[in-house]
Amino acid sequence: MSHSAFYYVDGVLYAEGVSAASLAEQFGTPLYVYSRDALTRAYHAYADACAGRRATVHVAVKANSNLAVLNVFARMGAGFDIVSSGELARVLAAGGKAENTVFSGVGKSAAEMREALEAGVKCFNVESIPELHALNEVAKSLGKKAPVSLRVNPDVDAKTHPYISTGLKSNKFGVAFKDARATYAQAREMANLDVIGIDCHIGSQITEISPYLDALDKLLELVEQIEADGMSIRHVDVGGGLGITYDDETPPDIGEFVKTLLDHIEKRGHGQREVYFEPGRSLVGNAGVLLTRIEFLKPGEEKNFAIVDAAMNDLARPAMYEAFHRIVPVVKRDEKAHKYDVVGPVCESGDWLGRDRELAIAPGDLLAICSAGAYGFVMSSNYNTRPRAAEIMVDGERARLVREREEVTQLFAGESILPD
């Protein structure tokens, strides 16, 4: 299995101390199952490596925004990284603090800026000159100064999927590297901005350290130029993006990754600055699985299909990125395996969860889609008027329902038909 919180005992899959089959029985399928222990261990890998250094961890809420998941992190003292005022509301509802929250994102509205300023967020990661002007105006209207860092695009290839690469010249994110110094000079002139940091985020599912070091070198060189211009940069935000094992990837150990970056910053003579890490996938990805039940096995001339009750609306990543998730039986069978495409009931050819998988299965069997804790439920939709899945948190031998399954009537409760 992809994470040690999920393991087999006598051919039966367990989530911590609870059998996955019993969870499906109790709560139905499709079902997202998270391990508190896995979340805790992943967070500690970051936090322990930051201990005694000028470094803080900000959990990227977009990867998994369930309140119980966020609350597990908040209890351990985590900061948060948000990209909308909706995510800010979730952080606060989950026990997180605004003053430990960084507001990222390329398209913040004036209303969102106002909410975040009133809540007192730690910093705005600003991505363009128009955004600087807008934030300055909103801060002025509230009689406040907005703490700002600029997201600089270092034009480093993180060698990842084009949809999740964010640090290239052609991406929509950040201020172009060649324009960054002049943009800082403009920000300095705005009376209601307090320029305190620099930020970069080069992409997602990165499985080697070298692109980070390349980006850091460019960033620190820029910091020296900005400070020569008379500004003081208090923190360096290295973003998130560390990958996980979905199949056979070998990402660096989290602790080693953190230590390597912090050592590099110190070696370059920048040890006095605070460093922000913004992990998402590497905290939650392998802390979750999606359980689904096989409805039908459909043999075909070219392909055999295992049609399950989860679909692209429940887990969008395969349809969207052709992403690979391991798919394993919840109860192993001794029979011969056959090759199947695992597909859902949604009326789209793109509705598949796994292709050409060797599985020994029968109708009614349960499957676990691994590594589904990141960008799983958060990207799910109600396409085909399908209620979204329930979410469960397993804590030792206890399982708690942390989000109820939606009811169909909830899906159109806000709609109305025309009067006669």
Known binding-site positions: 241, 278-281, 317, 321, 348, 375
Strand 288-299 to 304-308 pairing: antiparallel
Structure tokens at 384: 């085909």
Q: Which residues contact 224 (CB under 8 A, 6 or more apart)?
A: none
Annotated binding site for substrate: 281, 317, 321, 348, 375
**Helical (H) or strand (E) element with 199:** strand 193-199
Alpha helices in 51-142 (DSSP H): 67-75, 85-93, 110-119, 129-142
Annotated binding site for pyridoxal 5'-phosphate: 241, 278-281, 375
Within 5-60, strands assigned E span 6-9, 12-15, 18-19, 31-35, 55-60
Active site residue 200: no
Smallest Cα–Cα separation from 291: which of 6, 17, 21? 21
Per annotation, catalytic residue among 50, 200, 347, 370? 347
Calculate the CA 111 to chain-centre distance: 24
Tell me the CB-side half-sphere exposure of residue 374, using CA atoms within 13 A. 27
In degrees rounded to 5, what are phi and psi of residue 411?
-65, -30
Q: What are the catalytic residues?
A: 347
